Amino acid sequence: MTDLLGKVAVIGLGSMGLGMAKTLVGAGWDVAGCDLSETARQQLREAGGQGFDTPALAAENCNTVISVVVNARQTEAVLFGENGVANVLQAGDVFVSCATMMAGDAQKMAARLLQQGVHYLDAPISGGAIKAASGDLSIMASGSPEAFAAADPALDVLAAKTYRLGDKVGTGASVKMINQLLAGVHIAAASEAMALAAKMDLDLETVYEVITGSAGNSWMFENRVPHILQGDYTPRSSVEIFVKDLGIVQDIARAERFPAPIAAAALQMYLASAGAGMGGDDDASVARLYAQISGAKLPARTDKAE
């Protein structure tokens, strides 16, 4: 596809948003990005897009706005803040919200937007920065048929798989939170297990080989433990992301009167890791926290001095 397909705005040019914006440029879209960082805007310009410093400027003349910010509060500002996109969106346009948030927050924003005839697609994403840049994300989406119809051309470019979870805004958000509960627990459990293995003087490379071939394996164990083995804590996804996401899981669980002790224990370990100064480091740093509080010896850090 090399024809110009239309104009799309991508709000938030972080590790996910910038990759998605570039993917859309590569597929022939006219892409207007927005970020507070001039560096991020410049990176998009060099890739062939435009860069703006307010959501409203980026969304001008766009039928599709994709919001790739981190939470409900930021999403609300993107939509309804002083220079929010709601000021410029027209009836029939679609707002695609990728942030992880509670279902109720998504529903409130969708209802408010629909008053002006603008569709809201609840579309949390999974897969990480590499898949964002290659157009291979998983998208967990729910919304009206009109919202899907308007968003589909862009989703087709961005996603290897779009799960169509029905017409109720909030279902996408809720399924994403179930995924984040598991992902967050599995990274923390992998950290607990590998640091205990180190404390027991087991050979960690061997443990990794055995576990990835055994019933104790998880997607996250397989993906994150190599960071520990290599001592490379360059943030692909940071500790703070799970402070946020497992925090939302706890908010949901409390509201539902649902006890979630395992996710709660995992959250404490992310909080401890952030509190100990690792908040901006890769989430496999939870293993370093376990090492600190137990005396376990992990492979030496290679991305920077300890």
Catalytic machinery residues: 176
- DSSP code at position 62: -
For residue 263, state whether it binds a copy of itself (rule: CB under 8 A): yes
Q: Which is nearer to a copy of itself, 11 or 241 (CB)?
A: 241
For residue 219, state whether it binds a copy of itself (rule: CB under 8 A): yes
For residue 188, state whether it binds a copy of itself (rule: CB under 8 A): yes
The span from the CA of 165 to the CA of 169, in Å, is 9
Contact 67, 99 (CB under 8 A): yes
Q: Which is nearer to a copy of itself, 1 or 202 (CB)?
A: 202
For residue 199, state whether it binds a copy of itself (rule: CB under 8 A): yes
For residue 218, state whether it binds a copy of itself (rule: CB under 8 A): yes
Contact 129, 16 (CB under 8 A): yes
For residue 207, state whether it binds a copy of itself (rule: CB under 8 A): yes
Among 264, 271, 299, 301, binds a copy of itself (CB under 8 A): 264
Q: CA 173, 174, 175, 176: dihedral to nearest 10 degrees?
A: 50
For residue 130, state whether it binds a copy of itself (rule: CB under 8 A): no
The closest alpha carbon to 130, from 236, 217, 231, belongs to: 236
Q: Minimum Å distance from CB 105 to a copy of itself?
A: 14
For residue 179, state whether it binds a copy of itself (rule: CB under 8 A): yes
For residue 238, state whether it binds a copy of itself (rule: CB under 8 A): no
Of 4-12, 29-37, 73-81, 191-199, the segment contacting a copy of itself by CB under 8 A is 191-199
The closest alpha carbon to 80, from 62, 67, 70, 91, belongs to: 67
Contacts 24+ apart (CB under 8 A), 47-52: 47/21, 47/22, 49/21, 49/22, 49/24, 49/25, 51/13
Q: Rounded to 5 degrees, what angle do the CA atoms 205, 211, 217 make? A: 130
Residues in the site for a copy of itself, rule: CB under 8 A? Answer: 103, 126-128, 138, 140, 161, 163, 165-166, 171, 174-175, 178-183, 185-186, 188-190, 192-197, 199-200, 202-203, 206-207, 209-211, 213-221, 223, 252-253, 256-266, 268-269, 290, 293-296
